Amino acid sequence: MAQAQEHAIELEEMGYSALWIPEAVGREVFVSSTLLLSATSRLILAPGIANIYARDPFTAGAAWRTVTSAFPDRFLLGLGVSHQIMVEGMRGHDYSRPFSTMQRYLPVMADAIFTAVPPTTTPRRVLAALGPKMLRLAAETTDGAHPYFVPVEHTAFARETMGEGPWLCVEQAVCLETDPDRARTIARGHMAMYLTLPNYTNNLKRFGFTDADIADGGSDRLVDAIVAWGDEAAIAGRVAAHHAAGADHVCIQVLPPNPTDVPVDTWRRLAPALGVGSYATGSRSAGSTYRLTSSHSARCG
C-alpha cells in the first residue's frame, strides 16, 4: 500500500486529475481510497467499482459520506452489480435480478440515517452501466455512468441514452506499442477474463460483434476496438474519439507488457499527448469542482 501511495503521488505530480481503482478481489475500496487520498492533496479517487453485494446500502452510505467528509470534492464513488460469478459463486448472494437490486439499493443508500456530522460538499456517485436500463438509471438517480470494456460506439450510445447533463466517465485500455502482433498479444492477455463474463460479451453483441469475434481470445477487430494501441498520437486519437462521441471523461488503463509492472513511464510518456495538466478550455467537463476533464485520469489495479 505504501508503494501505491507513492504512485498516486507521482500521478498527481504528472497532472492527472483522478485515479480509478478496482475492487473485485483486491483491496477494500473505501479503505484504499482513504489511504491514497491521505497521501495526495488534489487527486480525485474513484472506485470503479464498489460491488453493491459486498456491503448493504446503509454501510455503503456511511462510508460514502465519511470519505467525502474527510476529503471534500475528492471522492467519486463508482457502484456496480459486478458479475454472477463474483456475487453467487464467491459471496453466495442471489444474482437473479441485479437491475432491480440496484434500483432498491440507491434510494436506501441516499436516504440512510447518518448521525455523524455530514459532509460539507455533496457526495458524488456514478454507476457501472452498459445496457440501456442501467444507463437510464444512472442518469436519473446518480451523477452519471462509468462504462468499462467498451468500444467508442458504446460511448455514443450511452450519451444518447442518458441525454446531456449526466457525467459519462469511460474507461479505455491502452497499450503503447506500435508492433501489431505484440500489441494484440498484450491486449488479449488483458481481455481474456472479461471475454468470459456475460455482462461484457452481451454488451459487445449490441454493437455488431459476434461469437466468432469473442472466441479464441478475440478477433483483431474486437481487440482493436477495446484496446487502443500504437504510439502516443494513436492513443490520444482514441481518447479524442470518445470525447467526440459524448464522453465527459476518459480513464486510461495502461497495459504494460508484464501485467504485474506499474506503468509509471507510460503514464509519463502519455501525459503530454493527452494534454494532462493543461486543463485546456473547450474540453467537456464533469463539473468545475471535480475537474474530470479530458483524459486526466488513470486506472491502477
Specify the pLDDT at position 84.
85
Q: How confident is the model at residue 86 (pLDDT cuts 50, 70, 90)?
A: confident
For the chain, percent of residues with pLDDT exceeding 90: 87
Domains contained in the chain, CATH given: 2-299 (3.20.20.30)
Q: How confident is the prediction for the chain on average, in pLDDT? A: 92
Specify the pLDDT at position 176.
98
Alpha-carbon span 16 to 7, nearest angstrom: 12
Residue range 201-213: mean pLDDT, rounded: 98
Taken in order 60, 287, 243, 188, the sign of the CA dihedral is negative
Residue range 222-243: mean pLDDT, rounded: 98
Q: What is the DSSP string of 42-73?
A: S-EEEES-EEGGGS-HHHHHHHHHHHHHHSTT
Residue range 103-125: mean pLDDT, rounded: 97
Residue range 269-280: mean pLDDT, rounded: 78
Specify the pLDDT at position 282.
27
Alpha-carbon span 47 to 36, nearest angstrom: 11
- Identify which has the larger pLDDT, 289 or 263: 263
Specify the pLDDT at position 283.
29
Alpha-carbon span 200 to 205, nearest angstrom: 9
Task: Kindly tell me if the per-residue pLDDT of 291 is higher than 60.
Answer: no
Residues in the chain, total: 301
- Helix segments in the chain, DSSP class H: 2-14, 29-39, 57-70, 84, 98-111, 132-141, 152-162, 180-191, 198-205, 211-214, 220-226, 232-245, 264-274
| Least confident residue range of 82-86, 105-109, 127-131 | 82-86
Across 190-200, b (16+ Cβ under 10 Å) vs e yields bbeebbebebb
